[in-house]
Each structure stands twice: as C-alpha cells, then as structure tokens.
Amino acid sequence: MRRMFVLCSLPPIALQIADNDSQLQYRMHDDLAEYINNNFKIGGDTCTYGEGASGSKRLRTAMASHMNSYFNPVSPVLPDDISFSAGVTAINEMYAWSLADEGDGILLNRPIYGAFENDLTTKARLTTIHVPMDGVDPLSADVVSKYEAALQNAARKATKVRALLLSNPHNPLGQCYSAETLKSLCRFCQKHQIHLISDEIYALSVFDSGNPDALPFTSVLSLETTGLIDPDLVHVLYGMSKDFGAGGLRLGCIVTRNQKLKQAMRAISMFHWPSSLSDAMAATILEDTAFVTRHLKASRERLAENYQLATGILDDADIAYHKGSNAGFFLWIDLSPHLPSPPQMTTDPLESERLLSNRLFDARVYLATGEEFHSEQPGWFRVIFSQEKEKLVEGLKRVIAVAKQQNAE
C-alpha cells in the first residue's frame, strides 16, 4: 500500500502526445505568443466568416510562398492549389470522403500514426489496410513489393484500393523518405492508378541528430512527375501545428492540382470552416519570413538538444530505440525485453504490452503503445522528447525504473 501511495503521489508526466503543448521546453509557444501579441491586431474582418471555408486568398498566398521557399517544388505552388480546413485531421476526413466510397481501401505501412484510423474511418468509413513490413525497411524502395502484395490481397477480398498514405517525415520512426523511395512509390501508384497522399506535417522539424547518414527532408512536390506519375494523383498535407507549435490555431491544408478533388473538398468544407482569427494570425506569421526563419532555426536547435539528451539517457540504460531519427518530436523505443509474462490462457500477443503500459501508468508516466501505431511486434512505445528538460529526464527515469523492476521480477 505504501508503494502505491508513493507512486500515485508523483506528478504525472505525459510523453505520449505530439501536440506541442510542452514543445521544446515550452519556449516555442512563448516565442510565438510574444510575436502574435506584438504583431497582430484584431480587425473587424476577423470577426466575420471571412472569404469562405477554404482559407482566405491572403493565407493561401502566404502558405504558397512558404512552401515554395522550403519544399523545393518542381512547379511553384499556387494559392489556388491550396485548400485550408480546421486542421489536418479534418483534411484527412475530407479527402477520404471525396476520393473513395464506403469500404474502399487505403494503404498504410506499419508502424504508422495511429490516429489516421479515426480520421479515415469514422465518417468516410474507408478500409485501412495496414501493410506488414516483415522486416523490410518501410522507408526503403523495397517496400513496394509489400504494397503490391497488399493490393493483390485486397483484390481477392473485393476491396478497391484508392490511395496510399505516407507520413513523411515518418511518425513514429522520425525519419525522412529518400527521393529514390518516393519515386518508386509514385511509379507504384501510377501503375495501379491510386492516389499518393503525403502527410508532410513535420517537414521543417528536421534537425541535426549527429548521424551523418540521416536523410534530409524531400517533399513529393520536389519530384519531376513527367513520366513518373499523373500529377492529379499526388497530394500533400501540411499545417501549422507541428513546425510552428501552433496546434491551437487549428489550421491544416492540402496541396493538390486535381481540380475535381479540390471542388469536392471545398463543397464539404463548411463543416470544417477555419476561424477567421486563426486565418489572419497564420497569414501574419507566414508573411514575416524573417520571423519564420528565426522560429524554425530555434525549433531545430532545441529539438537537437533534447534528442541528444533523451538518447543519451536511453543509451546509458541500455534501452534500445530505432536508430537514424532526425525529424519530428519522437523516439520509437523498444521495451520488448522488459515485457511482463502474459496471463495464463491468453492468446493475445499484445497483452504483455498492455500490462507494461499499465505499469508505466502506475508509475505516472504515459507513453503511446506500439499497438496504437499498428506495430508488428509487441513492446515498442513512442516517447515524445520535445518536453521541458526536467520533465523529459524524470519521465525517462520512471520508464527505466519500471523496466528494471520488470527484469527483477
């Protein structure tokens, strides 16, 4: 009883949510709030419905300029290529509703950001096909054979696959796709006439991890599509929540040159109408290119600091993690050697992972489980390292203590 009292009296530490609430020792939020307070003034127009439900011309122009500066597109992104909504979550739901019929399939690799499941199935009711990698690097060109097999399996079940959804940089692996792999995936999508959707929400949260082999970010917009893929099949997702630490603005967008998709999404955009206040704030931020440069530079430097801190702690404790990360806010850590024995008579291989998750919860540290990311092996967890340093260190200490306790048992 005394041990439980001590554990429950500890303050909780959440290392599972990449929503920037404590991103980069909270300083990024402070920097952004200070900028907004000093440079943004509420006008009468921000209290109206604005120019429509897909973002103002001013915001779409500012975002187009931003993406032309940082995403290296082969053809310049135009304001009309961009449609905004109240977050990328809403964008996921809208393109799923627009591109596919109920029951149609969409391919995703494993592991992958787990909330895609809700985004794509709750309203649009797509069939998410989480493709087993069976040891193949999901970011390598070899992955095409896995998607081919999944496509054939879907056909046998009479499931029509409409799209392949990528997370680039990858969540939870924290790596970027190579141009070679992206081109291979474009050829695959062109061959089967399915859409390639690239979620690039962490595009500019790429930092120096100290690994010389880590790949820089490559956007699918930077690929020459001639002879590779019909540009009407290529779509990019982006927003303000991650790179800018501004999830509270609730602004996400899709970049597409597919006129029919744009029309379909804009027809239902009134259900996800972005705030005119958020629209104007984001435009003000994006138009100030000097501030954007400073803000992103600070973000990358702080991410690199916390990455080195977290990996150093894990290395000292002999806790394994996915190597090669240099993007996003997370580490994919392997706690499989510390899984407790499953209850007798259970046939669910994930039960041990759930038990370990509960024991971490008892220690007042919260991690996202591999099950949430459709991991193929139990025992993997996602750790968010973009925290206050003191909170990050204490959280990892609790994880290590639970792991050691499991070994002792």
Peptide bond into 172 cis (omega under 30): yes
* Alpha carbon distance 325, 161 (integer Å): 30
The per-residue pLDDT for 364 is 94
Q: Which of 108-117, 132-141, 315-324, 334-343 has the lowest mean pLDDT?
A: 334-343
Q: Which of 17-21, 227-231, 270-274, 393-397 has the lowest mean pLDDT?
A: 17-21
At residue 401, the 3 state secondary structure works out as helix
Amino acid at 143: V
Average pLDDT over residues 80-104: 97
Q: Give residue-wise pLDDT tens across range 176-235.
A: 999 999 999 999 999 999 999 999 999 999 999 999 999 999 999 999 999 999 999 999
- The dihedral formed by the CA atoms of 136, 141, 147 and 148, expressed in degrees to the nearest 10: -110
Is residue 116's pLDDT more than 50? yes
Average pLDDT over residues 309-330: 96
Is residue 6's pLDDT more than 70? no
Q: Quote the DSSP letter at residue 49.
A: -
Please choose, from the candidates 177, 246, 192, 222, the residue with its C-alpha nearest in 3D space to the C-alpha of residue 69. Answer: 222
The per-residue pLDDT for 22 is 43
Specify the pTM: 0.93
The CA–CA distances, whole Å, from 122 to 31, 62, 107, 158, 268 equal 36, 32, 17, 21, 16
Radius of gyration of the chain (CA): 22
Is residue 8's pLDDT more than 60? no
Break the chain down into helix, strand, coil percent, rounded to 5: 45, 15, 40
Are 342 and 327 in contact, with CB atoms under 8 Å apart? no
The per-residue pLDDT for 157 is 96
SS (HEC) of 187-202: HHHHHHCCEEEEECCC
Is residue 17's pLDDT more than 90? no
Q: Quote the DSSP letter at residue 364.
A: T
Length of the chain: 409
Q: 376 or 47, which is more confident? A: 376
Query: Which residues, 6+ apart, have CB-to-CB distance to 8 below 8 Å?
Result: 362, 364
Are 55 and 83 in contact, with CB atoms under 8 Å apart? yes
Are 152 and 160 in contact, with CB atoms under 8 Å apart? no
At 237, phi and psi to the nearest 5? -110, 140
The per-residue pLDDT for 20 is 44
Q: Quote the DSSP letter at residue 129.
A: E
* Alpha carbon distance 175, 196 (integer Å): 19
The per-residue pLDDT for 115 is 95
Could you tell me the two tokens for 272? 């996800």
Is residue 357's pLDDT more than 90? yes
Are 204 and 241 in contact, with CB atoms under 8 Å apart? no
The per-residue pLDDT for 72 is 98
Q: Which of 33-42, 97-106, 121-130 has the lowest mean pLDDT?
A: 33-42
E runs forming strands in 86-152: 105-109, 127-131
Are 191 and 148 in contact, with CB atoms under 8 Å apart? no
The per-residue pLDDT for 16 is 63
Tally Cβ neighbours within 10 Å of residue 171.
Answer: 26
Q: 60 or 42, which is more confident? A: 60
Please choose, from the candidates 202, 195, 199, 236, the residue with its C-alpha nearest in 3D space to the C-alpha of residue 216. Answer: 202
The per-residue pLDDT for 408 is 67
Tally Cβ neighbours within 10 Å of residue 271.
Answer: 13
The per-residue pLDDT for 372 is 96
* Alpha carbon distance 241, 205 (integer Å): 11
What average pLDDT does the structure give for the chain?
Answer: 92
User: Residue 3 — very low, low, confident or very high, per pLDDT cuts 50/70/90?
Assistant: very low
Largest CA distance in the chain: 68
Question: In this prediction, what percent of the chain has a pLDDT beyond 90?
Answer: 83
Q: Residue 298, class by beta-carbon neighbours within 10 Å (0-12 exposed, 13-18 middle, 19+ buried)?
A: middle
